[in-house]
Amino acid sequence: MKFETAAGENPIDRQAVVGKGVDRIDGPLKTTGTATYAFEWHERITRPAYGHVIGAGIAKGRIVSLDLAYVRQAPGVITVVTAQSAGPLGKGGRNNATLLGGPVIEHYHQAVALVVAETLEQARAAAQLARIQYAREPGTFDLDAEKDGATRPDSITGGPADTAIGDFATAFAEAPVRLDGTYTTPGQAHAMMEPHASIAAWEGDRLTLWTSNQMIDWGKQDLAKTLNIPADNIRLISPYIGGGFGGKLFLRADALLAALGARAAKRPVKVALTRPLMFNNTTHRAATIQRIRIGAGADGRIVAIGHENWSGDLNGLKAEAGVRYSRPLYAGAHRMSTTRVAALDLPEANAMRAPSDAPGSMALEIAIDEMAEKLKLDPVEFRIINDTLVDPEKPERAFSERHLKECLNQGARRFGWHRRAAEPATRREGAWLIGLGVAAAFRDSPVTTSAARVRLDGRGIVTVETDMTDIGTGSYTIIAQTAAEMMGVPLERVVVRLGDSSFPVSSGSGGQWGANSSTSGVYAACVKLRENLARRLGFDAEQAVFEDGEIRQGGRRAALSEAVVDGEMIAEDAIEFGDLDDRYKLSTFGAHFVEVAVHSATAEVRIRRMLAVCSAGRILNPKTARSQVIGAMTMGVGAALMEELAVDKRYGFFVNHDLAGYEVPVHADIPHQEVLFLEETDPLSSPMKAKGVGELGICGVSAAVANAIYNATGVRVRDYPVTLDKLLEGMPEAI
C-alpha cells in the first residue's frame, strides 16, 4: 500500500481499541521471567557451549603475538576463535569498527578472540590464560585537542553538514542583544539492562541466531556480508529485548562471534558480553563541543542564530550533530551551522536515543534560557515569540503538524510556572534553594517501509507476523491494538509474533520511527485481509464494517471465520511512504518543565517534579507512550546530572566501564513525573495518523534540569553533567 496523500477517515478513527491505555500484552511474560531473552533459549538449544570474548588491552596498534597454548589446555575448552582462525571476513555497511580485531587493533576492548568451553565459568577462566603482546601506537583520544583538525563530514542525518542562510555574521554583529556560549556534553553509554547476547546454531550451511537486536533485517544482511554467506541462509530471532537505546541497532561482536564460535565448535554457542566489556567493546554516544551564537532585537525576536558542533569518532566517520536541533526549532532570518568530526581512537561512536538531538538540545536549550534572561523575557515567552510554522531552513517544506506553542502554554499552566522567580537564587525552603526550568522538545518522526502478514483462522483468531521488534516499548501491544481495530475483533483474539527474520521485513525499532511505521504496515496487511474476506463472503470491502468478529453491511452479517475454508486466510502487505519525508517535515514537539531543589551548603541537586507535554499525533496507547516518555525523561536527568564516560586520555579508553562507575538515575532520584499528550491526530504522517515519542521524551530534558538549577542557584553550568563540584564555587551564601 502506498501512502501518498493525507489519510482520510479510516477504521482506526473509531478508536475502539487503538488509543486505549491497555496493559502490555507481553507484561505477564516479563514480570514472571518467562519471556525468552537472547541468552535464555534453554529448551530449544541442546548442549550449548559458552563463548567468552577477550577484548584488546590497547586502544591502537597491533597484536605482536597471541599465545593461546594455555587457553587451549584449560579445562573444558573446546576451541578458540581469532581473526586468523576465522579467515577472511567481510564487513556490513553499518559497523564502523571491525567486530573481530587483530592483528590491527582499532580501539580498546575490540574483540580479539572468543574462547569456547563447556561452561561459562570454564570459558571465562581459560580466557585469563591468553598471553597477548601488543605494539602500542599513539592515538588521539581528546576531542578538545583534536577540535581544530576536525573535518566536515559529507552529510549528517537529514541534511548537509553545514548550512548558511542570509548573512549571519553581519546580523549577529549588529544585533542589540547577543549571546556567544560554548557548551559541552560528554560521551554517554546506552547502559541498557540486557547485555548484548546471542546464541548461534548451524545446521549445515544454515545459521540460526537468537539475539538481542533492534533491527532484524539490518542484522541479518550485515551478518551475511560479514560471514560471506547468502542472507537467506541466516535466520535471526529476537522476540524480546531488554532495552537497546540505539546500542543494538547494528550487528555487534556477540552475534558475529557466536556464529564463528558455533561453526568452529560444531555445536550451538552462547555469547554474552560482560558488563565491563560493553562500554568499550560496543558503541557510545559521542561527546560534543557546541558553540552557539544568538542575536536578537530588543523585542525578543531572534535575527541571527549560529550553531557550530564538534564531535569525534573512529576514523572521523560519524558526527553527533547537535546542529540538527537549532536548524528547525526557532525563527530567525540569518542562520549558520557547521558540523565537524575529529578522528579519535576511542571506541566507535554511534546512535544513542535521539542521536544528535539529545546533545543538541542540551546546548541550545540552555543558550535559549540565557538569551531570555538577557532580554528580560520569561523563557516560555521567548520561545513562543520565536516559534515558526515552517522549517526556517527549508521554507518550502511545511511541518505536517507543529504545536510547540500549545505544549509550552499548556505545560506552563499545569506546572504552575507563574511561581518561578524571575530572579535566580531567590526562592528558599530551609537549606534548599528551589528553581524551575523549561526547555522545548523537538524530534523528527521519520516513516519507513514496513511489512506485515496477517492470518485469520477458523476460530476467528487473528495472528500478526512481522520482524518488528519490541525493545521494551510496547510494540506487541500497539500492533495487537491495530489488528484488533482493523479486523473488528477483541484484543484477546489477536496473537502477535515479532522479531523473527522469517516474518515480513518491518521498520524495526529505531529513530522513533517504529510505532507509526510498523503499525501502518499492519494496517496495510489488514486492509488486504479485509478485502479478501469481503470478496469471499460477498461484501463490498469499502462499505462493510468489521465489528464484533463479524463483517456487516446493510442488513447482512457474517462471522469472519466463515470465510476460512482451508485452515486459514493469509494476507501480506507493506506500507510505503515514497517521498513523504521530502514533502512534509514530520516532527514531534513538546515542552519539559522541571523543579529542582539544590542544597545551599553542599550543592546537592534533587529533582522534585517533572512534566512533559508532548505533541506526537495520535497516541496509539497512552499507557505505553507515557512509559516511553517517563523513561526518556529519566534518561535526560541522567544526562543532566550523572552520566559521563570518563576518558583515559593517555591509554584511550572509558575508565568507568561498569554500572558502579557509570551512574544512571534510580527510582529515588525521580520522585514525580507527569506526561500530557495533546489531543490530536496527524493525517499527513500515515494511515495511523500517529508519530513516535520514545526519543522526543529525552530531547530538552537535560537543559530543563540545568535551567532549573540556574534558577535555583544563579550558577550557570555549560558543561554536562551538572555535578555539585561545578556548582559549589558559585553558590550563594548558605544559611
* SS3 category, 327: helix
Closest to ligand MOS by CB, 11 vs 244, is 244
Cell 533492534 locates to: 214
Cell 550563594 locates to: 732
Asked if 253 contacts 273 with a C-beta cutoff of 8 angstroms, the reply is: yes
Strand partners of residue 289: 184, 310
- Provide, rounded to whole angstroms, the least separation between the CB of residue 632 and ligand MOS: 11
Closest to ligand MOS by CB, 89 vs 630, is 630
* Per CB under 6 A, 696 contacts ligand MOS: no
Active-site residue among 146, 695, 729, 733? 695
- Site residues for ligand MOS, window 166-225 (CB under 6 A)? 214
Give the angle subtended at the CA of 439 by the CAs of 324 and 619, to the nearest 5°. Answer: 80
Using Cβ positions, the residue closest to ligand MOS within the complex turns out to be: 246
Closest to ligand MOS by CB, 249 vs 447, is 249
One-letter amino acid identity for 469?
A: T
State the DSSP code for 9.
S
* Per CB under 6 A, 511 contacts ligand MOS: yes
Cell 530543563 locates to: 704
146 is catalytic: no
Please state, in angstroms and rounded to a whole number, the distance separating the CA atoms of residues 597 and 510.
Answer: 35
- Provide, rounded to whole angstroms, the least separation between the CB of residue 487 and ligand MOS: 30
Closest to ligand MOS by CB, 245 vs 546, is 245
- Provide, rounded to whole angstroms, the least separation between the CB of residue 354 and ligand MOS: 7
Closest to ligand MOS by CB, 473 vs 707, is 473
- Provide, rounded to whole angstroms, the least separation between the CB of residue 514 and ligand MOS: 9
- Provide, rounded to whole angstroms, the least separation between the CB of residue 244 and ligand MOS: 6
Closest to ligand MOS by CB, 3 vs 245, is 245
- Tell me whether the omega of the peptide bond preceding residue 665 falls within 30 degrees of 0, making it cis: no
- Provide, rounded to whole angstroms, the least separation between the CB of residue 249 and ligand MOS: 5
Please state, in angstroms and rounded to a whole number, the distance separating the CA atoms of residues 178 and 296.
Answer: 6
Kindly indicate which of the ranges 33-41, 231-239, 346-354, 387-395 contains the residues binding ligand MOS, using the contact rule CB under 6 A.
346-354
Give the angle subtended at the CA of 130 by the CAs of 124 and 131, to the nearest 5°. Answer: 155
Distances (CA, A) of 650 to 142, 181, 346, 444: 9, 29, 11, 38
Asked if 727 contacts 599 with a C-beta cutoff of 8 angstroms, the reply is: no
Kindly indicate which of the ranges 108-116, 348-356, 426-434, 636-644 contains the residues binding ligand MOS, using the contact rule CB under 6 A.
348-356
What is the total count of residues that contact ligand MOS (CB under 6 A)?
11
The bridge status of strand 197-203 relative to strand 269-272 is antiparallel
Helix ranges (DSSP H) in 600-719 = 622-641, 701-713
Asked if 297 contacts 176 with a C-beta cutoff of 8 angstroms, the reply is: yes
Closest to ligand MOS by CB, 192 vs 727, is 192
- Provide, rounded to whole angstroms, the least separation between the CB of residue 161 and ligand MOS: 20
Binding mask 352-381 for ligand MOS (x = CB under 6 A): xx-x--------------------------
Closest to ligand MOS by CB, 79 vs 624, is 624
- Site residues for ligand MOS, window 57-96 (CB under 6 A)? none
Transcribe 484-515 into DSSP letters: HHHHT--GGGEEEE-SBTTSPP---S-TTTHH
* Per CB under 6 A, 510 contacts ligand MOS: yes
Distances (CA, A) of 551 to 279, 493, 722: 54, 16, 59
Closest to ligand MOS by CB, 214 vs 475, is 214
- Provide, rounded to whole angstroms, the least separation between the CB of residue 228 and ligand MOS: 28
Cell numbers that stand for 133 in this block: 603482546
The bridge status of strand 206-211 relative to strand 197-203 is antiparallel
- Provide, rounded to whole angstroms, the least separation between the CB of residue 246 and ligand MOS: 2
Question: Does an H or E element contain 358, and which?
Answer: helix 357-374
Distances (CA, A) of 443 to 103, 328, 356, 691, 700: 41, 10, 10, 10, 10
State the DSSP code for 562.
G
Give the angle subtended at the CA of 662 by the CAs of 247 and 432, to the nearest 5°. Answer: 125
Distance of CA 703 to the CA centre of its chain: 19
Asked if 135 contacts 64 with a C-beta cutoff of 8 angstroms, the reply is: yes
> Is residue 700 left, alpha or beta, with left meaning phi > 0 and alpha meaning psi from -120 to 50?
left
- Provide, rounded to whole angstroms, the least separation between the CB of residue 513 and ligand MOS: 8
Closest to ligand MOS by CB, 249 vs 438, is 249
Please state, in angstroms and rounded to a whole number, the distance separating the CA atoms of residues 495 and 503.
Answer: 14
Cell 589446555 locates to: 73
One-letter amino acid identity for 732?
A: P
Which phi and psi angles does 458 have, rounded to 5°? -65, -15
Transcribe 229-280 into DSSP letters: S-GGGEEEE-S--S--TTTTSS--HHHHHHHHHHHHHTS-EEEE--HHHHHH
- Site residues for ligand MOS, window 232-271 (CB under 6 A)? 244-246, 249
State the DSSP code for 188.
B
Closest to ligand MOS by CB, 503 vs 513, is 513
Cell 469481503 locates to: 534
Kindly indicate which of the ranges 96-104, 203-211, 350-358, 382-390 contains the residues binding ligand MOS, using the contact rule CB under 6 A.
350-358
Closest to ligand MOS by CB, 482 vs 509, is 509
Closest to ligand MOS by CB, 261 vs 511, is 511
Please state, in angstroms and rounded to a whole number, the distance separating the CA atoms of residues 681 and 553.
Answer: 28
Question: Does an H or E element contain 732, and which?
Answer: none
Question: Does an H or E element contain 583, and which?
Answer: helix 580-583
- For 404, residues 6+ apart whose C-beta sits below 8 A from its C-beta are 329, 383, 387, 440, 442, 589, 590, 591, 615
Which residues have a catalytic role annotated?
A: 695
Binding site for ligand MOS (CB under 6 A): 214, 244-246, 249, 351-353, 355, 510-511
